[in-house]
Amino acid sequence: MDKEHVFFENYAGTWDQDRKENPEVLSFLIKMAGISAGDTVLDVGSGTGILLPYLHQAVTDTGRIEELDYSHRMLEQARQKFASFPGVTYTEKNILKYKLPQKAYDAIVCLNFYPHIAQYKEVFIKKMTAALKQDGSLIIMHDMPRSRVNAMHDQGENPPSCVLPPVDIMATMLITAGLTVTVAMDTESFYFIRAEKKQYVPYEQYPEHAAVHEELIVPEGEMHGHSHGHDHGHVHPHTQTKAVMNRLARISGHLEAIKRMVEDGRDCSDILIQISAVDSALVSVGKVILRDHIDHCIIDAVKDNDMEAVDNLKKAITTFIK
Ligand SMILES: C[S@@+](CC[C@H](N)C(=O)[O-])C[C@H]1O[C@@H](n2cnc3c(N)ncnc32)[C@H](O)[C@@H]1O
């Protein structure tokens, strides 16, 4: 058992007295989580089951809730308090080591938990994404402001490893993992981000795909090598096309979510945060294209002394980094 685990075991008995639960804030957070009757929900780092009554109200008796925590005593508290709730299971496991079922949950909620796995964030987010059903949501939330969370977890490290990042950075991490961020809020009384595992349609299956390809087909006789839009004479495969199309599909899903936020009259600062996340995602897809271009086009062009291709690359880089 590591130091932090021992800390929580020792704290379990007095956790509820020390923890100032604000039912209004918790009800609001669960409402924003979009959990419905009959859902299957995983509550990661569930502690003494603070969220359990709110989750139960949302999923009703027809749903299922899994309370997961590595602290035996924390879970014992939850079990004692809410023994009468049907459909609740208690899993005493370290989330980083536990083999979660795949595509099993409609929602995974993490209340006041993220800083405890911040050092392993990529692994954690990937694992949670795999455990979500299609259209399921990962919700990372705190019923206190981010500044207070970070003050509590400040261990004097430089750079600190257990921080709760601003929502735009968190959004970018979630988008990179393949999720679509639908709500992101950082206020004086809470931090909330919801990311959904949206169905993504592979490029090949886009209905417009065939039409687009028809437009791109160059009639025989006009062929001048093959060139993904280049007009110099090299044939060079772009190995990252599929990855680029996947990223662009996610970005366009994210943009649709922003359009909905604007239509719904959502707070401008929330919308700007989302726009900045899309902006970062676009820059990173641009980098993939640039790297692919350098790897597969420019090396050949330099070998063949094709200065036109090299000049074109210079222009593209200048535009990209402007
Ligand atoms: C700050 S408490 C939050 C408890 C509860 N969600 C709340 O808001 O009252 C963090 C909880 O995460 C649990 N925890 C920390 N690291 C964990 C891990 N790797 N796996 C499972 N549980 C963990 C701790 O035992 C503790 O109960």
Q: Of 146, 162, 196, which residue constitutes the final position of a domain?
A: 196
Span 138-187, pLDDT tens digits? 999 999 999 999 998 877 666 566 789 999 889 989 988 889 999 999 99
Q: DSSP label at 64?
A: E
8 CA from centroid of ligand 1 (Å): 8
Q: Tell which wins on pLDDT, 125 or 222.
A: 125
pTM of the model: 0.69
Question: In this structure, what are the phi and psi dihedrals at residue 93, rounded to the nearest 5 degrees?
Answer: -145, 155
60 CA from centroid of ligand 1 (Å): 24
Per-residue confidence (pLDDT) for residue 222, from 0 to 100: 45
Q: Note whether 81 and 191 are same-domain residues.
A: yes
Per-residue confidence (pLDDT) for residue 221, from 0 to 100: 46
Q: Note whether 162 and 214 are same-domain residues.
A: no
Torsion 81-164-150-258 (CA) sign? negative
Q: Tell which wins on pLDDT, 55 or 261.
A: 55
Q: Note whether 9 and 119 are same-domain residues.
A: yes
Q: Note whether 142 and 266 are same-domain residues.
A: no
- Work out the average pLDDT over 23-52: 97
Q: Which residue's alpha carbon is nearest to atom 19 within ligand 1?
A: 94
Whether 69 contacts 92, CB under 8 Å: yes
CATH number of the domain where residue 183 is located: 3.40.50.150
Residue 57: closest CA among 20, 30, 19 = 30
- pLDDT of 24 above 50: yes
Q: Is 109 in the pocket of ligand 1 (CB under 6 A)?
A: no
Cα–Cα distance for residue pair 132/35, rounded to 1 Å: 13
Least confident range from 136-145, 208-217, 237-246, 266-275: namely 208-217
- pLDDT of 230 above 50: no
Host domain of residue 245: 203-321
Whether 46 contacts 78, CB under 8 Å: yes
Q: Which residue's alpha carbon is nearest to atom 18 within ligand 1?
A: 94
CATH number of the domain where residue 222 is located: 1.20.58.1000
Exposed / middle / buried, residue 178 (Cβ in 10 Å: 0-12, 13-18, 19+): middle
Cα–Cα distance for residue pair 189/168, rounded to 1 Å: 18
Q: Note whether 273 and 231 are same-domain residues.
A: yes
Q: Of 142, 177, 196, which residue constitutes the final position of a domain?
A: 196
pLDDT band at 134 (very low <50, low <70, confident <90, very high): very high
Cα–Cα distance for residue pair 307/187, rounded to 1 Å: 53
State the total domains in the chain.
2
Q: Is 115 in the pocket of ligand 1 (CB under 6 A)?
A: no
Q: Note whether 25 and 61 are same-domain residues.
A: yes
Side-chain-side CA neighbours of 6 within 13 Å: the count stands at: 3
